[in-house]
Amino acid sequence: MSESSCHRAEVLINHYLDDELTAEEAKELSAHLKACAACRKEFAEARAVELLLGGVAAEPPPPSDAQSKPEAPPKQGTDGQPNKDTPQSMQAV
């Protein structure tokens, strides 16, 4: 198969995986996969990964630690004394 038709098939495989394939594109992809062993392999591998991941990719990522934890106040003020806003348990002894 030509490189351009295989590239087109790769695009269509991604559309298929994203459930965005039109009926015409489905026919085009099916015909290409019947004729191209390399793209059949790519399609099978992509489907296997999708099945392994399940719905994992559909969920938004959790917030990073930096976004989810409030910044702790400094343990000492600029004068070297414990910061009055710092809880007693966090103050240096």
* φ and ψ of 33, to 5 deg: -65, -30
pLDDT mean across residues, the chain: 77
Q: Which residue has the higher pLDDT, 37 or 87?
A: 37
Query: 44 or 82: whose pLDDT is higher?
Result: 44
Residue 1: pLDDT over 80: no
In Å, how far are 72, 84, 88 from 81, measured between CA atoms? 16, 9, 12
One DSSP character per residue, 45-92 reads HHHHHHHHHTTGGGSPPPPPHHHHSPPPPPSB-TTSSBPTTS-GGGS-
Over range 16-28, report the average pLDDT. Answer: 92
Does residue 19 sit in helix, strand or coil? Answer: coil
pTM for the full predicted model: 0.55
Confidence of residue 69 (pLDDT cuts 50, 70, 90): low
